[in-house]
Amino acid sequence: MSRVTQFIFRRRGGKGWHWTDIATWVWLIGGLIIMFGPAVWLALSSFKTPAALAEFPPSILPYVSQQATVQGYDKPLTLFNATMPDGSTRVLAEVRRVGTVAQMVDPKAPAEIIKVNINQRTPVRSVSFSTENYVQPFLHFDFFRYLWNSVFVTVTATVITLVVNSMAAFALSKYEFKGRNAAMLVILATLMVPLSVILVPLYSIISTLGLFNNLWGVILPTVATPTGVFILRQYMLTIPDELIDAARMDKASEWQIYWRIVVPLTAPALAVLAIFSVVWRWNDFLWPLIVLSRRELYTLQVGLNIYSGELNVQWHFILAMTVVTMIPVVLVFIFLQRFITTGIAGTGLK
Amino acid sequence: MSQSQPATRPLAPAPKMSAASLALMPVHFIMGLADKPLRALQKAAGIGGMATFFLAPNMLIFSIFVLLPIIINIVYSLTGGTAIFLNERTFVGTDQYAHIFNCSNYLDPRSCQEDAFWTAVGNTFWFVVIQVTLLIVCSLITALILNRDLMARSFWRAVFFFPVLLSPVVVGLIWRWILQRQGLLNYILYPFGHDPVTWLSDRTVAFAAAVGVSIWAHMGFYTLILLAGLQAIPKDLYEAAEMDGTRAMRVFRRITLPLLMPNLLVVVVLALIKAVQVFDEVYVLTGGGPGTATQFLTQYIYETGFVSQPRNAGLAAAASILMGLVLVVLTLIQLGISKRNENKGKR
Q: pLDDT band at B163, cuts 50/70/90?
A: very high
Residues 88-147 of B with CB under 8 A from A: 141-142, 145
Percent of chain A with pLDDT over 90: 28
Domain identity same for A97 and A165: no
Residues A112 and A140 in one domain: no
- Given A95, A111, A127, the domain boundary residue is A127
* A51 lies in some domain: no
Contact criterion met (CB below 8 Å) for A61 and A69: no
Residue of B nearest to A331 (CA): B165
CATH number at residue A83: 2.30.30
pLDDT bracket for residue B214 (50, 70, 90): very high
Task: Give the closest of B34, B54, B225 to A344, CB-based.
Answer: B225
Does residue B33 form part of some domain?
no
Instruction: Indicate the DSSP class of residue A293.
Output: -
| Chain B residue closest in CA terms to A323 | B170
Is residue A137 located within the same domain as residue A123? no
Give the per-residue pLDDT at B1: 37
Assign residue B163 the CATH number of its domain.
1.10.3720.10
| Beta-carbon separation of A38 and B157 below 8 A | no
* A54 inside domain: no
The answer as to whether B15 is a domain residue is no
Q: What is the pLDDT of residues B237-285, one digit of tens each?
A: 888 888 888 888 888 888 888 888 888 888 888 899 889 989 989 999 9
Give the residue from A31, B189, A183, B168 showing the smallest Cα distance to B199.
B189
Q: How many CB atoms lie within 10 A of CB A119?
A: 9
Do A96 and A235 share a domain, yes or no? no
Tell me which amino acid residue A59 is.
Answer: S
Span B60-71, average pLDDT: 90
> Does residue B40 fall inside a structural domain?
no
- Three-class secondary structure assignment of B257-274: HHHHHHHHHHHHHHHHHH
Does residue A73 share a domain with residue A169? no
- Rounded to whole angstroms, the maximal C-alpha distance in chain A is 100
Evaluate whether B322 touches B341 at the Cβ level (below 8 Å). no
Which is higher by pLDDT, B76 or B126? B126
**A18 and A110 share one domain:** no
Q: Are residues A112 and A247 in the same domain?
A: no
Same domain, A138 and A255: yes
Tally the domains of chain A.
3
Residues A104 and A175 in one domain: no
What's B156-193 look like in SS3? Answer: HHHHHHHHHHCCHHHHHHHHHHHHCCCCHHHHHHHHHC
The total domain count for chain B is: 1
Is residue A174 domain-shared with residue A322, that is, in the same domain? yes
pLDDT tens sequence across A190-236? 777 788 888 889 998 999 899 999 999 999 999 988 888 988 998 89
Full domain range(s) for residue B217:
95-101+110-346
Quick one: what percent of chain A has pLDDT higher than 70? 93
Count CB pairs under 8 A between chains A and B.
279
Examine residue A296 and state whether it is found in any structural domain, yes or no.
yes
**Domain shared by A179 and A101, yes or no:** no
Read off the pTM: 0.83
Smallest CA–CA distance, residue A204 to chain B, in Å, is 6
pLDDT at A136 over 90: no
* pLDDT tens-digit series, residues A315-350: 888 888 899 899 888 888 888 877 777 777 665 554
Q: Choose between A45 and A142: higher pLDDT.
A: A45
- Asked whether residue A118 is assigned to any structural domain, the reply reads yes
Residue A115, beta-bridge partner list: A103
Domain-embedded: residue B271: yes
Range of the domain at A143: 133-347
A177-186, A335-344, B296-305: which range is least confident on average? A335-344
Tell me if B291 is assigned to some domain.
yes
Using an 8 Å CB-CB cutoff, list chain B residues near A146. none
Q: Are residues A156 and A198 in the same domain?
A: yes
